[in-house]
Each structure stands twice: as structure tokens, then as C-alpha cells.
Amino acid sequence: MKVILVDDEQKFINMLAKRLAFRGIQADTVFSGEDAIQKIQHSDYDVAVLDIKMPGISGLELKKKLSSLAPELKFIFVTGHGAKNTLENDLIKKDIFLSKPLNIDTLIKIINEITKK
């Protein structure tokens, strides 16, 4: 199982990566959409955990780009925003959406579920 965490809040995903590693999940971190696109071209990942709002690119736009490079990649969106229905794009309603602060057990449960399919 290999996960890529994408968020401009560097401390947040660095800490999350360490906690996932404790639980047997290898997680790489990148702090921008551009870096994620670069990284995904050189490594295989099962799941991408994306911040919805990042400088330069939205999580949704990034998903489209990453999907074209890695069609099997599964996505989980994470946001500091309050509620799912405040997000403007209907497409996101079909995706998995978690609100910060995260519950690590919930995140791992979802990672396991979506990679089983």
C-alpha cells in the first residue's frame, strides 16, 4: 500500500505521513500540485489524499491531471472547509471527502475500503 499526500500545509502532511507509517502504510508527501504531478510520473501509488484548496491548482483539477497519468489511482479529498455542500462543484459530491482535523482510524478504514475494490 502506497499513498501520496498532497497539501501545502507541510507540517500537517508530514505528521500524517509519520502516523500512517506507524500503521504500516507508506506515505510520501508533496506540497504542491506540480510536485504531485512530477512524483506520480516516477512512482506508483494506490491512493492520493488531496487538499481541496492549494495554491495554483484546486484538488479537483489536480485529480483530473493525476487520473490521466495514473488511471487506477484512488482519491480522497481533505479540506479545512466546513461542509461538503459548501463546495461549488457537484462533481466532488461523488468523491470521498474528509474534513480537517482528520481521524486517523477513519482515514485508514477508507484507504483500505477503496483499495479493496
Partner 1 sequence: MNDAINFMNMEGLKFFGRVNASISHELKNILAIISETAGFSNDLTDLAKQGKELNLSLIESCNDSIAEEIQRGFTTIKQMNRFAHSVDVPIKDIDLLETLDLTIKLSSFLSFASHVRITNPGKEIKSVLTCPFLMQNLIYQILCFTYESVGPDGEVHLQINSEENGGIHLVFSSSGELVLEGFPNQNIQKTADILGVEFNIKTSSIEFDIWIPYASDKINLLSEEL
E runs forming strands in the chain: 2-6, 26-30, 47-51, 53-54, 57-58, 74-79, 96-99
With binding defined as CB under 8 A, does residue 109 bind partner 1? Answer: no
Phi, psi of 44 (to 5 degrees): -95, 135
Q: Facing residues of 27 across strands? A: 3
Smallest gap from residue 16 Cβ to partner 1 (A)? 5
Count the Cβ atoms, other than its own, within 10 Å of residue 20: 21
CA dist., res. 69 & res. 111, Å (int): 20
Binding mask 39-68 for partner 1 (x = CB under 8 A): --------------xxxx------------
Smallest gap from residue 91 Cβ to partner 1 (A)? 19
**Closer CB to partner 1, residue 61 or residue 70?**
61
Smallest gap from residue 114 Cβ to partner 1 (A)? 21
Chain positions contacting partner 1, by CB under 8 A: 8-9, 11-12, 15-16, 18-19, 22, 53-56, 80-82, 99-102, 104
